[in-house]
Amino acid sequence: MVSDNRTLVTEFIILGFPNARGVELLLFATFFLMYALTFTENAAIVLVIGMDYRLHTPMYFFVSNLSFLDIGYTTVTVPKMLANIAIQSQTISITGCFTQLYIFFFLGSAECFLLTTMAYDRYLAICNPLHYTIIMDRRACLWLALGCWLGGFLAPALPTAFIFRLPFCGSNIINHFFCDSPPLLELSCQDIFEIEVINFVVGTTVLVSSFILTMISYIFIVATILHIPTAEGRSKAFSTCASHLTIVSIFYGTTMFMYIRTKTIQTFDFNKIVSVFYSVVTPVLNPVIYSLRNNDIKQGMRKVLLKQKDISSIHEKSRAWHETAVVEFIILGFQSIPEVQFLLFLMFLVTYITSVSGNLLIMVLVVADHHLHSPMFFFLGNLSFSETGYTSTILPRMLASFLTSTYVISLNGCFLQYFFFPGLAGAECCPLTAMSYDRYIAICKPLHYTTIMHGRCCLQFAGGSWLNGLLASAVVTSLMPQLTFCGPNEIDHFFCNFTPVLKLSCSDTHWLELVTFILAPLLTLPPFLLTLISYVCISYTVFRIPSSTGRQKAFSTCSSHLTVVTLFYGTLIVVYLVPKPNTLGDLHKVVFVCYTVVTPLVNPLIYSLRNNNVKKAFRTAVNKYSFFDKT
């Protein structure tokens, strides 16, 4: 009965501001201006911190993370709201609504943890200045930032999962300007008491725990400042945390009012005003507060915007890059074992031909056979295309080096190779996640499969995966030409990989490493966790099937994908997360070969050997070819 009722609601209507009829243009202009200001101001903060070496400190590293969060925080809600006002269409799909809800609270929770981390940073700087540089080194900052993002990602997972399972069989009008939790719960036709309790517990845990830790830090800070004998010293110490304290007061004041309640204590219209303040106004104010109250930021902005010396220095760096003694790299590859070069050439040639042939065959079968025109095989075709692309980025060049004994690659060629390899590899994470989600819907929600996994949804998944991978790669690659290479030019790898290239630079690579450290987990960790969650739900559903035949049949529909996921993420973790001693450089290359060469070779074999649909399509294609050949 619940399942039948739930199918009645396939989309929601976001009511927005119904009392603002007649002033839609003014409302649109106001929110558009605020969004433009938020994006511009926070992007300027990130840019200034990145360009001014004096701001390469833990405090401003966390400030740049805060600005990046604020950009994402507003981008989740405001563009959709502007589109609703502009085109007078207020509908949003159920999937889109839950995605907006999850990402909004993910970024909000991450901001809570980040503000607490910034308070801890100020505590160490003021209360333990002699140990500050030892404790808050680069590695500690990176791990703290990653912890904030990961904590934010995990915090809303349980509440959102429970809300997603609710049936919606009555009104579909959300009395808010985005998909927020309280108005969404009002639409459910099931008892929501347990979910309200979960929301309250999780919200209280995130907000109150981070708030208490922040307050404890400031209690120690205030106590230390009051012990400073001179008024000038107290003023100087307090000025280093005044901006952060202002932002903390605004952020926690509004969010605690909104979410640490089991029931609304005011009307929804009043709640909308408060929501506008913390979701739209606060991200506008944060960079203003930091730029007006922080002398370092103001000096950095003057340096970027007003001083022509800095502009000329950028041009000088660009000219220095073109005029540097290093105009090409030498890729060492496997030169340390010259006695097996021919054997390696044959091995990689056979591997490449087999990999490309196998993946092209998968793509042709998916397109040609109408039995494979389903979401699962659509994503499989995308997976095969990305694997063909990223093996073709590396292997042809390496094979040419074996044949000609020429291991030279130009700077532009190296950077181009680096752009395509991580871009295509990053784009592979999302199809794997989409395929696991497809299997989750097919096994756990079979009655809703065709409704949820329609053509438009599949195209959005595929387009988003390609866009995410290539954009992240473009950001990192666009920063690499600003590096200078004036020393050794030998890359101890078999292609232009990020880490060995950075080791050759004689300029500061801290900012580039930081950007990569942030983007890499954002690109790979959410897809991995979503894949893991999907398979936890799938396993739970499969084990509840009473017959062993039913369990085996259900599991067989996702066994190929599970094998591919295990290979992909297993080798990825070994390559990038497991520390490698410098003495095992050649072994590291071998592991990298497994990730970049062997995995794309094995994937089509797994799907052709373990998937009956692909095998049937292959037999059909062979029979058709044989028939035409005979005629």
In 10 A of CB 312, how many CB atoms?
Answer: 10
| pLDDT of amino acid 626 | 52
| pLDDT of amino acid 312 | 45
Bridge partners (DSSP) listed for residue 14: 174
Q: Where are the domains of the chain?
A: 10-306, 328-626
Asked if the model's pLDDT at residue 79 lies above 70, the reply is: yes
Q: What is the mean pLDDT of the chain?
A: 79
- CA 517, CA 505: separation in Å to the nearest integer? 18
Confidence of residue 304 (pLDDT cuts 50, 70, 90): low
- CA 430, CA 434: separation in Å to the nearest integer? 6
Residue type, 324: T
pLDDT in tens, 318-335: 444 444 456 788 888 877
| pLDDT of amino acid 21 | 64
Confidence of residue 46 (pLDDT cuts 50, 70, 90): confident
Pairing of strands 328-331, 490-491: parallel
What are the phi and psi torsion angles at 184 (to 5°)?
Answer: -70, -40
Confidence of residue 586 (pLDDT cuts 50, 70, 90): low
- CA 346, CA 358: separation in Å to the nearest integer? 18
Helices 411-444 + 559-576 axis angle, to 10: 140
Asked if the model's pLDDT at residue 432 lies above 60, the reply is: yes
Averaged pLDDT, 562-577: 75
Bridge partners (DSSP) listed for residue 174: 14
Asked if the model's pLDDT at residue 62 lies above 70, the reply is: yes
| pLDDT of amino acid 625 | 56
- CA 101, CA 166: separation in Å to the nearest integer? 14
| DSSP state string for 479-522 | HGGGS---S--EESSSS--HHHHHHT--S--HHHHHHHHHHHHH
Pick the CATH number of 328-626 from 1.20.1070.10, 1.10.3720.10, 3.40.50.1820, 1.20.1250.20: 1.20.1070.10
- The residue assigned the tokens 């404890």 is 216
Confidence of residue 311 (pLDDT cuts 50, 70, 90): very low
Q: Which of 8-17, 385-394, 592-601 has the highest mean pLDDT?
A: 385-394
| pLDDT of amino acid 150 | 92
What are the phi and psi torsion angles at 330 (to 5°)?
Answer: -115, 115
| pLDDT of amino acid 144 | 93
Helices 455-479 + 411-444 axis angle, to 10: 150
| pLDDT of amino acid 264 | 45
- Name the residue among 612, 486, 511, 507 with its Cα closest to residue 559: 612
Q: Which of 75-79, 427-431, 592-596, 620-624 has the highest mean pLDDT?
A: 75-79
Asked if the model's pLDDT at residue 262 lies above 50, the reply is: no
- CA 622, CA 618: separation in Å to the nearest integer? 6
Confidence of residue 296 (pLDDT cuts 50, 70, 90): confident
| pLDDT of amino acid 242 | 81
Asked if the model's pLDDT at residue 580 lies above 60, the reply is: no
Helices 94-127 + 157-164 axis angle, to 10: 170
Asked if the model's pLDDT at residue 584 lies above 70, the reply is: no
| Residue 47 token pair | 């840019």
Residue type, 28: F
Averaged pLDDT, 346-375: 85
Asked if the model's pLDDT at residue 308 lies above 70, the reply is: no
557 touches 439 (CB < 8 A): yes
Local structure of residue 325 (DSSP, 8 states) = S
What CATH number is given for 10-306 in this structure?
1.20.1070.10
Q: Which residue has the higher pLDDT, 193 or 592?
A: 193
| pLDDT of amino acid 182 | 83
Q: Which residue has the higher pLDDT, 520 or 250?
A: 250
Averaged pLDDT, 182-203: 86
Residue type, 154: L
| pLDDT of amino acid 109 | 92
- CA 180, CA 80: separation in Å to the nearest integer? 14
| pLDDT of amino acid 609 | 62
255 touches 278 (CB < 8 A): yes
Bridge partners (DSSP) listed for residue 491: 331
| pLDDT of amino acid 354 | 85
Share of residues in the chain with pLDDT > 90 (%): 9
Averaged pLDDT, 129-144: 90
pLDDT in tens, 269-292: 667 777 787 788 888 888 877 766
| pLDDT of amino acid 258 | 64
